[in-house]
Chain A
Amino acid sequence: MSTTAIAQRVDARGLSCPLPIVRTAIAIKALNAGDLIEVLATDPGSTKDFTAWAKTTGHELIEQSVDDGVFRFVLKRK
């Protein structure tokens, strides 16, 4: 299971643009290549934002789900 363990969590629930992305960007800098980061957000714009951000930065968006208004993203550091 060590390959799928989440290395870092970012709780961006209740935060508005651009905080979910900015906090994730700061957090992901401290990780090693291939590490996974999990982000929780409630900003409805984050679905679009995280897809775009992953495309721009090259980090891989490997999981995306929504549960009761909370969006969850798992990204892999490039």
Chain B
Amino acid sequence: MVIKKLILFKIIVIIPITFILTGCWDNKELDTISIVTGVGIDATEDEDKIEFILQIERVSQHNTSPLEGANTNDSSIILETEAKGILSAIEKLQKQVTRDLFMHHNQAVIFGKEQAEKGIKPYIDAFLRQQDMRMETLVFVAEGKAKDILHNSMEQDSAFSSGITRMVDATNRYSESYSVRVLDLVSMIIEETTAPTIPIVRLEEHEKELRLLLSGLAIFNDGGLIGQLNEIETRGYTWIMDKFKTTFIEIDIEEGFSNLNISNIKYNLEPEINNENKLIISLEIIGDIVISEIQGFDNMTVKAVTDTLLEEGKKVINREIQTCFNKSKELNADFLRFGEEFHKKFPKQWEEIKNNWNDMYQEVELSTKIELNLIDTGKIVNSLNMKEEN
């Protein structure tokens, strides 16, 4: 009996102890972590080193300790250091803060333009390798220095990082070109022929206040940044990559001005190799048009106006696509992922093609076929100064 009681006692004591002693090892209370919300990487004068910037959410309102970085705005703290690698930079920064740096909630990685030109590939590695870095973090290239962007606060969202994610989410409702996440970037990098694209963020001055805006895409090759797409070229890119969900087509001709809303876009991209071994990409876009705005078009019948608008709409889209395609040939960077399309469709021929893709890319032809269907003219049929049809 005594022995059995002893065993019982032991069981009762040991079970809770195994829980309590083995548990808790990765227990982190919320007040022991610094939530990192943004990461910036800038070039330094030293060729080997980078300037690493962290944006940390300011949790405590009362704490204005000078220890946690001198450069502060309302809601976040900026830390910066120079180091060779990302992890060594984080380790250095860890010594500057009172709490554990918590990377899971990092919203954005921003490369300064200078660093982008030097190359970004080596630094993406750390973001893939580490457990606490997320693949769905957004990636940007800053026009200028990443540090300046992280310092700037937005009007509605005081921290850059939460603002930029909302901004990208908002644009995603129309076009997905501006949302490039670490995972997307990596898949573009590992594809043999594709030139990665990263959206550009830029600061613009508005009455002494700096505003952040997304402007175009940065094109990379293996080495680094090689060019930028402007607004029109970015639209072309978006058409070719099927990233538009809905958009407006602006038509500005002699007769008048109009905005067409295109939605329900159907898209088909077919790579072909013809008899002369020529590479052809045929792109087909079908969309539903709603007339959203009309100015001018005086003394024309409704039928004539709609016909003109559809015709012009096709031209506009075509122009945007061709501009973009020309740019890509000019840079000789296959950021439109045509190489991948051939790879998928003609895996056997691809073995030959890929070796001299750089030369062949210049020969690729793009044929477009655009079809627009007018489904609605909005709440009113005629423009205010259009003739009644009779």
A and B are partners in one complex rather than unrelated chains: no
A positions within 8 Å CB-CB of B: none
